[in-house]
Amino acid sequence: MRRLLSRSFVPIVCRVLISANFLFVSVLAIGQETSALPDAPSVAQTQSQPSTLTHQEQHEPSKNHIFWIIPNYRSDENPADIKPLTPRDKIRVSLDDSFDPSAFLVAGIFAGISMAQRQYPSFGTGAQGLGKYYGGALADQAIGNIMTEGLFPIALHQDPRYFVKGTGGFWRRTGYAVSREFITRGDDGRNHFNTSELAGNAVAAGISNLYYPAADRSFGNTADKWGQQIALDTFFNVTKEFWPDVRHKLFEH
Protein backbone atom coordinates (compact mmCIF):
# COMPACT_ATOMS: atom_id res chain seq x y z
CA MET A 1 0.00 0.00 0.00
CA ARG A 2 2.05 2.83 -1.23
CA ARG A 3 -0.24 5.77 -1.90
CA LEU A 4 0.64 8.94 0.02
CA LEU A 5 -2.07 11.13 1.55
CA SER A 6 -2.25 14.91 1.62
CA ARG A 7 -1.86 16.92 4.85
CA SER A 8 -5.52 17.87 4.85
CA PHE A 9 -6.50 14.22 4.77
CA VAL A 10 -4.42 13.20 7.79
CA PRO A 11 -7.13 13.96 10.43
CA ILE A 12 -9.57 11.77 8.52
CA VAL A 13 -7.02 8.96 8.40
CA CYS A 14 -6.45 9.24 12.16
CA ARG A 15 -10.17 8.85 12.86
CA VAL A 16 -10.30 5.82 10.58
CA LEU A 17 -7.34 4.23 12.36
CA ILE A 18 -8.91 4.75 15.79
CA SER A 19 -12.19 3.25 14.60
CA ALA A 20 -10.35 0.28 13.14
CA ASN A 21 -8.60 -0.37 16.45
CA PHE A 22 -11.96 -0.46 18.24
CA LEU A 23 -13.16 -2.94 15.59
CA PHE A 24 -10.25 -5.22 16.32
CA VAL A 25 -10.90 -5.01 20.06
CA SER A 26 -14.56 -5.99 19.60
CA VAL A 27 -13.90 -9.05 17.46
CA LEU A 28 -11.00 -10.47 19.48
CA ALA A 29 -11.69 -12.75 22.42
CA ILE A 30 -12.00 -10.90 25.72
CA GLY A 31 -9.29 -11.49 28.26
CA GLN A 32 -6.65 -12.95 25.98
CA GLU A 33 -3.90 -14.59 27.98
CA THR A 34 -0.63 -12.68 27.82
CA SER A 35 2.64 -14.49 27.29
CA ALA A 36 6.27 -13.43 27.09
CA LEU A 37 7.45 -14.02 23.55
CA PRO A 38 10.57 -12.63 21.90
CA ASP A 39 10.06 -9.75 19.49
CA ALA A 40 11.40 -11.82 16.63
CA PRO A 41 9.59 -15.15 16.16
CA SER A 42 11.90 -18.09 16.80
CA VAL A 43 12.00 -21.56 15.35
CA ALA A 44 9.70 -23.93 17.24
CA GLN A 45 11.10 -27.12 18.70
CA THR A 46 8.12 -29.17 17.57
CA GLN A 47 7.55 -30.20 14.00
CA SER A 48 5.44 -27.74 12.02
CA GLN A 49 4.64 -26.79 8.47
CA PRO A 50 7.24 -24.57 6.73
CA SER A 51 6.39 -20.89 6.48
CA THR A 52 7.26 -20.98 2.77
CA LEU A 53 3.83 -21.11 1.20
CA THR A 54 2.80 -23.21 -1.75
CA HIS A 55 1.59 -21.48 -4.91
CA GLN A 56 -2.01 -22.31 -4.02
CA GLU A 57 -1.69 -20.98 -0.46
CA GLN A 58 -0.02 -17.77 -1.65
CA HIS A 59 -3.08 -16.96 -3.70
CA GLU A 60 -5.71 -17.79 -1.09
CA PRO A 61 -7.73 -14.55 -0.85
CA SER A 62 -8.61 -14.92 2.84
CA LYS A 63 -4.92 -14.84 3.83
CA ASN A 64 -3.38 -12.66 1.15
CA HIS A 65 -6.07 -9.97 1.07
CA ILE A 66 -7.17 -8.06 4.16
CA PHE A 67 -10.96 -7.91 3.91
CA TRP A 68 -10.42 -9.46 0.45
CA ILE A 69 -9.30 -6.10 -0.94
CA ILE A 70 -5.93 -4.98 0.45
CA PRO A 71 -2.96 -7.04 -0.88
CA ASN A 72 -1.23 -8.85 1.98
CA TYR A 73 1.46 -11.05 0.42
CA ARG A 74 4.23 -10.03 2.83
CA SER A 75 2.47 -11.28 5.97
CA ASP A 76 3.45 -14.68 7.38
CA GLU A 77 0.92 -16.18 9.80
CA ASN A 78 2.99 -19.27 10.59
CA PRO A 79 6.51 -18.19 11.61
CA ALA A 80 7.23 -21.43 13.49
CA ASP A 81 9.71 -22.63 10.87
CA ILE A 82 11.12 -19.57 9.16
CA LYS A 83 13.19 -20.00 6.04
CA PRO A 84 15.03 -17.01 4.53
CA LEU A 85 13.69 -15.70 1.25
CA THR A 86 15.88 -15.80 -1.82
CA PRO A 87 16.37 -12.57 -3.80
CA ARG A 88 13.90 -13.93 -6.33
CA ASP A 89 11.35 -14.57 -3.56
CA LYS A 90 11.71 -10.99 -2.30
CA ILE A 91 11.13 -9.55 -5.76
CA ARG A 92 8.12 -11.81 -6.16
CA VAL A 93 6.60 -10.57 -2.89
CA SER A 94 7.05 -6.95 -4.00
CA LEU A 95 5.49 -7.62 -7.41
CA ASP A 96 2.58 -9.58 -5.92
CA ASP A 97 1.80 -6.66 -3.60
CA SER A 98 2.18 -4.15 -6.44
CA PHE A 99 0.30 -5.83 -9.28
CA ASP A 100 -2.28 -8.03 -7.62
CA PRO A 101 -5.66 -7.27 -9.31
CA SER A 102 -6.94 -5.69 -6.11
CA ALA A 103 -3.95 -3.30 -6.08
CA PHE A 104 -5.35 -1.58 -9.16
CA LEU A 105 -8.63 -1.03 -7.31
CA VAL A 106 -6.82 0.33 -4.25
CA ALA A 107 -4.83 2.72 -6.45
CA GLY A 108 -8.10 3.98 -7.92
CA ILE A 109 -9.52 4.64 -4.46
CA PHE A 110 -6.52 6.71 -3.41
CA ALA A 111 -6.46 8.50 -6.77
CA GLY A 112 -10.08 9.50 -6.24
CA ILE A 113 -9.32 10.76 -2.72
CA SER A 114 -6.37 12.83 -3.95
CA MET A 115 -8.42 14.28 -6.80
CA ALA A 116 -11.29 15.18 -4.46
CA GLN A 117 -8.75 16.92 -2.20
CA ARG A 118 -7.21 18.68 -5.24
CA GLN A 119 -3.82 17.59 -3.99
CA TYR A 120 -2.19 18.40 -7.37
CA PRO A 121 -4.29 21.09 -9.11
CA SER A 122 -2.05 21.06 -12.19
CA PHE A 123 -3.24 17.52 -12.89
CA GLY A 124 -6.56 19.04 -13.84
CA THR A 125 -10.04 17.58 -13.56
CA GLY A 126 -12.25 15.21 -15.50
CA ALA A 127 -11.11 11.96 -17.07
CA GLN A 128 -7.70 13.33 -18.01
CA GLY A 129 -7.02 14.55 -14.48
CA LEU A 130 -8.22 11.31 -12.94
CA GLY A 131 -5.89 9.40 -15.25
CA LYS A 132 -2.92 11.42 -14.00
CA TYR A 133 -3.90 10.91 -10.37
CA TYR A 134 -4.39 7.20 -10.99
CA GLY A 135 -1.02 6.85 -12.71
CA GLY A 136 0.68 8.58 -9.78
CA ALA A 137 -1.09 6.38 -7.23
CA LEU A 138 -0.18 3.19 -9.07
CA ALA A 139 3.44 4.32 -9.46
CA ASP A 140 3.64 5.17 -5.75
CA GLN A 141 2.48 1.67 -4.82
CA ALA A 142 4.77 -0.15 -7.21
CA ILE A 143 7.92 1.87 -6.56
CA GLY A 144 7.41 1.82 -2.80
CA ASN A 145 6.85 -1.93 -2.72
CA ILE A 146 9.78 -2.73 -4.97
CA MET A 147 12.08 -0.57 -2.85
CA THR A 148 10.95 -1.73 0.61
CA GLU A 149 10.10 -5.36 -0.15
CA GLY A 150 12.51 -6.14 -2.98
CA LEU A 151 15.64 -4.12 -3.70
CA PHE A 152 16.54 -2.86 -0.21
CA PRO A 153 15.90 -6.24 1.52
CA ILE A 154 18.08 -7.94 -1.12
CA ALA A 155 20.93 -5.44 -0.71
CA LEU A 156 20.75 -5.38 3.11
CA HIS A 157 19.93 -9.09 3.61
CA GLN A 158 16.71 -8.27 5.46
CA ASP A 159 13.39 -10.09 5.41
CA PRO A 160 10.49 -7.98 4.04
CA ARG A 161 7.80 -10.19 5.60
CA TYR A 162 5.67 -9.27 8.59
CA PHE A 163 5.66 -12.18 11.05
CA VAL A 164 2.41 -12.34 13.01
CA LYS A 165 2.96 -12.60 16.78
CA GLY A 166 -0.44 -14.22 17.24
CA THR A 167 -0.50 -14.54 21.03
CA GLY A 168 -0.65 -12.18 23.98
CA GLY A 169 -2.90 -9.28 24.91
CA PHE A 170 -4.21 -6.69 22.49
CA TRP A 171 -1.86 -3.90 23.52
CA ARG A 172 1.16 -6.18 23.64
CA ARG A 173 0.47 -7.34 20.11
CA THR A 174 -0.23 -3.80 18.95
CA GLY A 175 3.09 -2.65 20.40
CA TYR A 176 4.83 -5.50 18.61
CA ALA A 177 3.16 -4.56 15.31
CA VAL A 178 4.18 -0.91 15.65
CA SER A 179 7.76 -1.88 16.49
CA ARG A 180 8.08 -3.87 13.27
CA GLU A 181 8.23 -0.60 11.36
CA PHE A 182 11.62 -0.02 13.00
CA ILE A 183 12.79 -3.58 13.70
CA THR A 184 12.86 -6.36 11.15
CA ARG A 185 14.25 -9.85 10.86
CA GLY A 186 17.48 -10.34 8.95
CA ASP A 187 18.28 -13.27 6.71
CA ASP A 188 20.58 -14.37 9.54
CA GLY A 189 17.57 -14.74 11.88
CA ARG A 190 18.52 -11.77 14.09
CA ASN A 191 16.76 -8.48 14.72
CA HIS A 192 17.92 -5.65 12.46
CA PHE A 193 17.10 -1.97 12.30
CA ASN A 194 14.48 -1.77 9.54
CA THR A 195 16.54 0.23 7.07
CA SER A 196 14.70 -1.40 4.18
CA GLU A 197 11.37 0.10 5.24
CA LEU A 198 12.59 3.52 6.38
CA ALA A 199 15.21 4.20 3.71
CA GLY A 200 13.21 2.44 1.01
CA ASN A 201 10.22 4.72 1.59
CA ALA A 202 12.49 7.77 1.59
CA VAL A 203 13.91 6.80 -1.80
CA ALA A 204 10.41 6.10 -3.14
CA ALA A 205 9.24 9.53 -1.95
CA GLY A 206 12.20 11.12 -3.71
CA ILE A 207 11.54 9.25 -6.95
CA SER A 208 7.91 10.43 -6.90
CA ASN A 209 9.20 13.95 -7.58
CA LEU A 210 9.93 12.80 -11.13
CA TYR A 211 6.27 12.29 -12.02
CA TYR A 212 4.44 14.77 -9.75
CA PRO A 213 4.08 18.49 -10.61
CA ALA A 214 7.22 20.62 -10.35
CA ALA A 215 5.45 23.01 -7.95
CA ASP A 216 5.33 20.25 -5.34
CA ARG A 217 8.99 19.24 -5.61
CA SER A 218 10.47 20.46 -2.36
CA PHE A 219 12.35 18.86 0.50
CA GLY A 220 9.49 19.63 2.89
CA ASN A 221 6.85 17.98 0.70
CA THR A 222 9.07 14.96 0.09
CA ALA A 223 9.72 14.56 3.83
CA ASP A 224 5.99 14.91 4.47
CA LYS A 225 5.23 12.13 1.98
CA TRP A 226 7.80 9.91 3.68
CA GLY A 227 6.34 10.52 7.14
CA GLN A 228 2.80 9.87 5.98
CA GLN A 229 3.85 6.61 4.35
CA ILE A 230 5.62 5.44 7.52
CA ALA A 231 2.47 6.18 9.54
CA LEU A 232 0.28 4.36 7.02
CA ASP A 233 2.58 1.33 6.91
CA THR A 234 2.61 1.21 10.72
CA PHE A 235 -1.17 1.03 10.76
CA PHE A 236 -1.16 -1.76 8.19
CA ASN A 237 1.25 -3.71 10.40
CA VAL A 238 -1.46 -3.62 13.06
CA THR A 239 -4.08 -4.83 10.57
CA LYS A 240 -1.77 -7.67 9.51
CA GLU A 241 -1.28 -8.70 13.13
CA PHE A 242 -4.99 -8.96 13.89
CA TRP A 243 -6.41 -9.89 10.48
CA PRO A 244 -6.11 -13.66 11.18
CA ASP A 245 -8.17 -13.19 14.38
CA VAL A 246 -10.76 -11.02 12.66
CA ARG A 247 -11.00 -13.45 9.74
CA HIS A 248 -11.52 -16.37 12.10
CA LYS A 249 -14.09 -14.60 14.28
CA LEU A 250 -16.14 -13.20 11.43
CA PHE A 251 -15.88 -15.78 8.70
CA GLU A 252 -14.67 -19.13 10.05
CA HIS A 253 -17.14 -20.09 12.77
Domain boundaries, the chain: 1-8+82-253
Please report the sign of the dihedral spanned by the C-alpha atoms of residue 240, residue 235, residue 141, residue 87. Answer: negative
Residue 26 pLDDT: 43
pLDDT tens-digit series, residues 14-30: 444 444 444 444 434 33
* Side-chain half-sphere CA neighbours of 66 within 13 A: 25
14 Cβ contact partners less than 8 Å away, ≥ 6 residues apart: none
Q: CA dist 42 to 77, 128, 156, 184, Å?
A: 13, 51, 21, 13
What's the predicted TM-score (pTM) here? 0.72
> Which residue ranges of the chain lie beneath pLDDT 50?
1-38, 40-61, 253
Task: Confirm if 230 and 201 have CB atoms less than 8 A apart.
Answer: yes
Give the ranges where 163-209 is alpha helix by DSSP (H).
Answer: 170-179, 195-207
Residue 3 pLDDT: 43
Q: CA dist 157 to 40, 96, 188, 234, Å?
A: 16, 20, 8, 21
Task: Confirm if 83 and 52 have CB atoms less than 8 A apart.
Answer: yes
- Residue 161 exposed, middle or buried by CB count within 10 Å (0-12, 13-18, 19+): buried
Task: Confirm if 56 and 49 have CB atoms less than 8 A apart.
Answer: no
90 Cβ contact partners less than 8 Å away, ≥ 6 residues apart: 149, 150, 153, 154, 160
- 191: helix, strand or coil: strand
Question: What is d(CA 98, CA 73) in angstroms, rounded to the nearest whole number?
Answer: 10
Question: What is d(CA 122, CA 100) in angstroms, rounded to the nearest whole number?
Answer: 29
Instruction: Report residue 28 CA to chain centroid gap.
Output: 21
Residue 171 pLDDT: 95
DSSP β-ladder status, 162-163 and 75-76? parallel
Angle among Cα 6, 12, 17 to the nearest 5 degrees reads 110
Residue 237 pLDDT: 93
- 46: helix, strand or coil: coil
- 48: helix, strand or coil: coil
Question: What is d(CA 82, CA 224) in angstroms, rounded to the nearest whole number?
Answer: 35
pLDDT tens-digit series, residues 131-179: 999 999 999 999 999 999 999 999 999 999 999 998 899 999 999 999 9
